[in-house]
Structure 1
């Protein structure tokens, strides 16, 4: 039986801090970190095999795999266990989609995330169940408390603060843009590392967000979003795919099953069966 020593613990902590530092350093405006979000160990290994430097989980995709709806319907223990399995499956920094924190107090959130081996997390500013936007000041205070808890615990955590104004906000496009910038700046001041105005897609808005927020900006890639090269030109620092890849895989599997049902081969011409 192997016992843990202070040297072992120090080495583990040093490795964790190194992964978080590496993750943070990859957020470079104009040279974005591209993170195809994963849902299980197999998809995480595929992302690593494809040469990506970071594993990012997607809450909606993991919820679907586990048999739940998105919106913090997954019991927090099951979500964290899934994140831990993903982390063990690949030798890369992991950033975890933690929605609004699953009701955990900042210190417990930090402790339980650290136990999974995750180096970063997404935290959003709307209620996953109702869609109601959080007060910007309250969300900034929450992010600041997560940062303080991480510092107190000796944990380096890369915080990607999601801004949901483009989903659940109100007002004109100009008003939503202004509110996204306002929130993003407050969240950076509170201790966030990157700002994620999810569903912002129009090129002019993306450029205005990058310039107005004044820190690393994460954009969700989906149909209609500028290309990866264009997002880089706009100064974006991170590009996520959310649950889009998982939805595409499910749709492809459905087409294969329909082919089998209809007595046809599910495999494309020229492709050998595994």
Structure 2
């Protein structure tokens, strides 16, 4: 028999708030963060209601490649620092679960997060569904409504030879299975075309789909909201925005110029 852990009221309240942000008709916008200062800057931005960490960006911060190359304890330590530095709900990119999705979710919840992304990496569907159930069980054991953003890599891992319609059908099949297993929302990276988003929302239901905003490619947030998307995040792209600004400033300096006049003291 599974033992229910004592509920931390503040965490349970944050989890409920975070869940409700996904079910509202107003789209949830998450600009992903990777360290304490990026989290504090985003959290202080008017209109920001929650934070999401980016595994790629955290790994890069410590010199690791993406894909669970960063040790889990180091990854969790940064997430824990972020949680302690802000008052908003925080969701963590769990990657593929580090070999034990349920246990990784338990450790993430212990660090103070109330949601997480979980990649299926196109494993057999029964295995992917079992991982979703394990994460949801971890949230139940902790006494919170853990907001699992169950990710399918059906689009980003598809062969170029596979007909697009077939790829989209597989993404929908997996997304529906994840929802049936208890995940509140489904994340499909690679989904950017209006017609495809409409097809997926029709299949999964409104406020069930989350997407990533890709620079120069994705639809504006307002249009995604009108299509019934629950949430849009930025993954590693916000870190790349920051690094682009840094490199551009460095280039301007070495070329004989100066730092941007509009620079603000945010830390």
| TM-score using structure 2 length | 0.91
1:55 and 2:48 aligned: no
Rounded Cα–Cα distance in structure 2 between residues aligned with 1:234 and 1:66: 37
Matched length: 256
Report whether the alignment pairs 1:245 with 2:241: no
1:1-274 matched pairs, under 5 angstroms: 13-28=8-23, 30-51=25-46, 52-106=48-102, 108-126=103-121, 133-170=122-159, 171-214=162-205, 216-222=208-214, 223-268=216-261, 271=262
Stretches of structure 2 lacking an aligned partner (at least 5 in a row): none
- The root-mean-square deviation of aligned C-alpha atoms, in Å, is 1.8
How far apart, in 2, do the equivalents of 1:98 and 1:145 lie? Answer: 13
1:6 aligns to what? Answer: none
The question of whether the paired residues in 1 share the 8 Å contact of 2:34 and 2:54 is answered with yes
**Contact kept in structure 1, 2:60 and 2:66, CA below 8 Å:** yes
* 1:266/1:23 CA distance change after superposition, 3 Å: same
CA deviation vs aligned residue, 1:150-177 (integer Å, no higher than 9, x gap): 3234343110001111100242111111
- TM-score by length of structure 1 reads 0.88
- SS of equivalent to 2:34: coil
**Cα pair 1:29 1:236 within 8 Å, conserved:** no
Quote the offset at 1:236 in angstroms. 0.3
- Alignment CA distance shift 1:181-1:36 (3 Å): same
Which residue is equivalent to 1:129?
Answer: none
Distance in 2 separating the partners of 1:233 and 1:258: 40
